[in-house]
Structure 1
Amino acid sequence: MRLRVDLLPHGQYPDVVLVIDVLRATTTAVTYLERGADALLLTATPEVALALRGGEDGSPYLLGGERGGLPIPGFDFGNSPVEATGQNFTGRTVVMNTTNGTGAAHTAAQTGKHIFLAALTNAHAAARRARATATEEIAIVCAGTDGQVGLEDVYAAGVLAEYLLAMGEFTVDDGARIALTVRRNSGNPLEALSSSGHGQHLGRLGLGEDVRFAAGLSTSTLVPALTLDGDPPEGTLRFTAG
């Protein structure tokens, strides 16, 4: 079994992919589903999300997303897991579009057979799900920030890699070795996330509570999984609770 870590989304994915955007898209996605959402629709652009709801009253969709860390105009929510914990999404579908994470999921879905969303908050569960599903390779894909490698995602990838290596034998690539090194030399999760460039950016925006929330290690057993059930609208990826 192969284990690889892509520090940014790229390449072909023949088997299982764990997509990470720990600050904050995948952390928030887990929270939406924990708070009762029936499904998440990850869109390629904000325009696709807005068009899904249109101007009709009684839309089944709620929109959550951000650009540069701030809520997108016309959306119901930003990309805050803390905000999401205070809501009840039972019976609703949340449409998500973010600066980095939703695009990374779309890249992975072009070729991957099984796509899961991973964060520190569901790290143990995501690693177990990936190991139980994979037959050839597990790829951990870091979303990064604006096309640059993000310390917080690489750290989370190292946490996932540690868990996976504890479950069995893998052939690891240099990306996995880098992630493991970062994990072992960056202190605890909150230190790693807070010291990252994006973590500092969120702090300046007054979103430090989101950083602290995202640093919670294995606080959830929910793993969002890509599904083709329900005939998802064009330009979207449909994720449900795995």
Structure 2
Amino acid sequence: MHEINYTPLLLSFKVAGISTSVVFVAGVLFARLMARKTFFGKSLLESIFLLPLVLPPTVVGFGLLILFGKHGLIGSWLSSWFGIQIVFSWLGAVIASVVVSFPLMYQSAVASFEQVDRKLENAARTMGASEWRVFWTISFPLAWPGLLAGLVLAFARGLGEFGATLMLAGYIPGKTDTIPLAIYFAVEAGDMEQASFWVTIIVALGFSTIMWLNWWSRRHMRRFAHEQKKE
């Protein structure tokens, strides 16, 4: 077997790590808002959040290309004011990963916050706790199991993103070649040995993620059932 360049592995973790951090913060904030507030246009906004789940990745990538391209609404502004180029850069891969993984984090977060007992939050407020303190001491800890599940799923989705990344970031060896792109172009070049290697790596990562999440979920449920019996 010829020498393997591990840049795709490092870049994939870098892209997935950064995008998951962004998605977690944004997902928690928006989910908290949507779970507790009612306002005009809420359904429309939620539909926009979840749209990447039902669109083909290439369509998502095309939309991002329109927005972040050299002459795009956002891309031209970033280029002229800050000299930042999104297309054909690892930043493009991060943005693509954020967009496609956000719905997974958002859905999990909304479901988690909706299950938090509002009576506990209201009790804390009547005792003088600020909204910030209510969130960090009651809402966030109680919603954490679902938030963690969304976090793990978002990371796995970001790690395996292909279509939108290819459209926005392209394939530049050493710069934008994440594992999914490395697999595709290795097959295109007839290098089945390298493609098989990266397929094995990403399958192992995905399988490990699912196994850990299932194990953690069962452990959490057993702990919850034990605490309920004690009460």
Q: TM-score range by the shorter chain?
A: under 0.3
Higher relative contact order (CA 8 A, sep 6+): 1
Rg (Cα) greater in structure = 2
Relative to total residues, which structure has the larger helix share, 1 or 2?
2
TM-score, with normalisation over the residues of structure 2?
Answer: 0.27
